[in-house]
Structure 1
């Protein structure tokens, strides 16, 4: 008897993907809007005028509207009935809640970094701080904020805990909004840059207790400065807060 040869398995059909032959306009609009928000060029409460943005960018309103929806899902914009989108304004409670989570994550990251970071990684962290101190007086606000946040991100990465680093990374947009709000109120940019030194120097010594104490001082000082600025904005007769020298 001649047995039929079973048919060879056929390769699974490749999932269909559309060819990409032009830039993703929505992503490009989203990136520009996000940058303007985190740098403070679009202030909290500012209305997003789709027609005007589309005119400036030389595109239709559809990509602007879709980009605004994406930023709404990220918590940067809010949608108001019959008024379109506006930049989200954080309340004092939301700011304090963010700081509570940030402090908890960074305190853990700092302790873990003292244990897990290699000597080469610690040297790179030190170089980051030295670069920020050197460049702070001559950089613009957006660049200083990026360097500031880069140091904190680097510490979370040095923790060796990928889950912690991912959680902290997801908070960066809102943290940048707060830094943009506060950083310009300091008269001496060098003061902010140097305030990172005690934290990093303790990490270099792998002294977890000292590093956490310095970090807590650094973050609590920042939180109190934000609170004072927020209250000052609510009551214009209140004098703006003055920076406290770092430890």
Structure 2
């Protein structure tokens, strides 16, 4: 197996986390495409870590839904079905509409709105860049939406879906992915939160996620 660039050059500190980050990045960007068998001996040699450290990272990737076990426990990069993509985006809609309700109810939303509009500006700037940067700027907006609630359970739940979401966007292809990243659709969410209109923010987010999932599965 040819080693993807994302798997090279680890430092000697926090090897488990570095291995996890490198593998997650290689999977979500398509360097390790769906169906790729993950051979411990090859990966541990490529990453220059022990097989025990590698197994810890692979276990976490299984929990995130990026890696699945097949016959005899053999691990491979997970393939996402259309149903799985729709299910993930349905859960995102629930989490992010909850975030919007929490933020809409804050007595002073000025700092929150400023940070969300900064995230939208980041999306605007990334529109001139490659697909991966555009995906990251889009995810950053939604991550920021959840983070600003200061609800750690909500944030952890959203982060548990992040790798699968990134995979589903990346593997759908550039045209489908980019069509989900219109700045005005995200601005509508922020506008509703700014006015304290939780109901409109919720319906906007749910519609956004429904349309995004339908677009990705084609």
TM-score bin (small chain): 0.7 to 0.9
Q: Give a deviation string over 1:146-203, Cα, whole Å, max 9, x none.
A: 2111111222233354433332233222222222223623385795344312222222
Give distance in 2, aligned partners of 1:49 and 1:208.
Answer: 48
- Which residue is 2:133 aligned to? 143
Give distance in 2, aligned partners of 1:23 and 1:183.
Answer: 35
- Which residue is 1:152 aligned to? 142
TM-score (norm 1): 0.71
Structure 1 residue 87 and structure 2 residue 67: aligned? no
| Aligned counterpart for 2:208 among listed residues 201, 214, 218 | 218
Q: Identify if the C-alpha distance between structure 1 residues 217 and 45 changes in structure 2 by more than 3 Å, giving closer, same or farther.
A: same
- Which residue is 1:119 aligned to? 110
Instruction: Map residues 199-238 of structure 1 onto 2, 5 A cutoff.
Output: 199-228=189-218
- Which residue is 2:96 aligned to? 106
Give distance in 1, aligned partners of 2:68 and 2:204.
Answer: 36
Q: Give 5+ residue unaligned stretches, structure 1.
A: 1-21, 229-247
Give distance in 2, aligned partners of 1:158 and 1:28.
Answer: 26
Structure 1 residue 130 and structure 2 residue 85: aligned? no
TM-score (norm 2): 0.79
Query: Alignment partner of 2:105: what SS?
Result: helix
Contact 1:110 1:203 in 2 (8 A): yes
Counting matched residue pairs gives: 206
Structure label with greater radius of gyration? 1
Give distance in 2, aligned partners of 1:71 and 1:95.
Answer: 17
Structure with the higher helix share, 1 or 2? 2
- Which residue is 2:9 aligned to? none
Q: Give a deviation string over 1:8-48, Cα, whole Å, max 9, x none.
A: xxxxxxxxxxxxxx524333222210111122222221222
Root-mean-square deviation (Å):
2.7
- How far apart are 1:125 and its partner, in Å? 0.8
Give distance in 1, aligned partners of 2:180 and 2:211.
Answer: 16
| Aligned counterpart for 1:178 among listed residues 163, 168, 180 | 168
Q: Which has the higher contact order (CA 8 A, sep 6+)?
A: 2
Q: Identify if the C-alpha distance between structure 1 residues 225 and 65 changes in structure 2 by more than 3 Å, giving closer, same or farther.
A: same
Give distance in 2, aligned partners of 1:54 and 1:161.
Answer: 36
Give distance in 2, aligned partners of 1:166 and 1:59.
Answer: 27
Q: Give 5+ residue unaligned stretches, structure 2.
A: 1-11
